[in-house]
């Protein structure tokens, strides 16, 4: 979860842009919630860990809400990578860490990051 300051719409749009830059397609559920997805589920299932970081199917659920400290953006992992066995699971963990860092850097570069923790 990230805690950010400033305009909630700007914070949401910053997170969405960071995910789009990582190759995600976003599907809005409502104004403050979305699903993000990239890669191929078929390739991940058929190739497992051999699908690689860019081909591995990755899903996230993004929730934006007001909290006492500011505005919270939560990324929830939607896939585990288990279809690739232990190697696929470890690869998926690395992918989520990379994504989380990219979103965090986007908030930091915008000057709005108050705090952030891992997915």
**pLDDT for 78-110, tens place per residue?**
765 555 555 666 676 788 888 899 999 999 999
Q: By C-alpha distance, which of 110, 74, 118 is closest to 94?
A: 118
Q: Tokens standing for 11?
A: 């914070």
pLDDT above 60 for 24: yes
Euclidean distance between CA atoms 98 and 119, whole angstroms: 11
pLDDT score recorded for residue 82? 54
CATH architecture of residue range(s) 2-116:
2-Layer Sandwich (3.30)
Q: Give the global pTM.
A: 0.79
């Amino acid at each position: 979860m990230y805690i950010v300051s400033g305009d909630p719409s700007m914070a949401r749009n910053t997170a969405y842009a960071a995910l789009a830059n990582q190759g995600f397609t976003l599907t809005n559920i409502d104004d403050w919630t979305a699903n993000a997805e990239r890669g191929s589920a078929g390739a991940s299932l058929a190739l497992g860990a051999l699908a690689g970081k860019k081909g591995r199917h990755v899903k996230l659920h993004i929730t934006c809400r007001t909290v006492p400290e500011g505005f919270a953006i939560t990324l929830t992992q939607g896939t585990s990578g288990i279809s690739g066995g232990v190697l696929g699971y470890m690869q998926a963990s690395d992918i989520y860490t990379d994504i989380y860092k990219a979103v965090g850097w986007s908030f930091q570069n915008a000057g709005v990051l108050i705090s952030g923790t891992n997915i």
